[in-house]
Structure 1
Amino acid sequence: MKRIGSLIGLRAEHIAEYKRVHAAVWPDVLKQIGSSNIRNYTIFLREPENLLFSYFEYVGDDLDGDMAKMAADPVTQEWWTVCMPMQKQLETAGEGEWWASMEEVFHQP
Structure 2
Amino acid sequence: MRRFGMVARTAPERREEYLALHRAVWPGVEATITACGIRNFTIFVTGDVLFGYYEYIGDDYAADQRRMAADPVTQEWWARTGPCQRPFDESSGAANWVELDEAWHLD
Indicate the TM-score class for this superposition, using the shorter chain for normalisation.
over 0.9
Deviation, 1:94, is: 5.8
Letter of the structure 1 residue corresponding to residue 73 of structure 2: V
Corresponding position of 2:7 = 7
Mapped partners of 2:75, 2:7: distance in 1:
20
SS at match of 1:105: coil
In the alignment, is residue 93 of structure 1 matched against residue 84 of structure 2? Answer: no
Query: What TM-score does the superposition give when structure 1 sets the normalisation length?
Result: 0.90
Letter of the structure 2 residue corresponding to residue 5 of structure 1: G
Mapped partners of 1:3, 1:92: distance in 2:
25
Corresponding position of 2:103 = 105
Deviation, 1:93, is: 3.5
Contact 2:85 2:96 in 1 (8 A): no
Deviation, 1:62, is: 0.4
The number of equivalent residue pairs is 106
| Structure 2: runs of 5+ lacking an equivalent | none
Deviation, 1:16, is: 1.3
Give the structure with the higher percent helix: 2
Q: Percent identity?
A: 43
Which of 55, 58, 72 lines up with 1:60 in the alignment? Answer: 58
Q: CA RMSD in A?
A: 1.4
Query: Is the alpha carbon distance of 1:92 and 1:62 closer, same or farther for their aligned partners in structure 2, counting shifts above 3 Å?
Result: farther
| Structure 1: runs of 5+ lacking an equivalent | none
Query: Is the alpha carbon distance of 1:40 and 1:92 closer, same or farther for their aligned partners in structure 2, counting shifts above 3 Å?
Result: farther
Corresponding position of 1:76 = 74
Mapped partners of 1:92, 1:63: distance in 2:
27
Query: What TM-score does the superposition give when structure 2 sets the normalisation length?
Result: 0.92
Corresponding position of 1:33 = 33
Mapped partners of 1:99, 1:25: distance in 2:
18
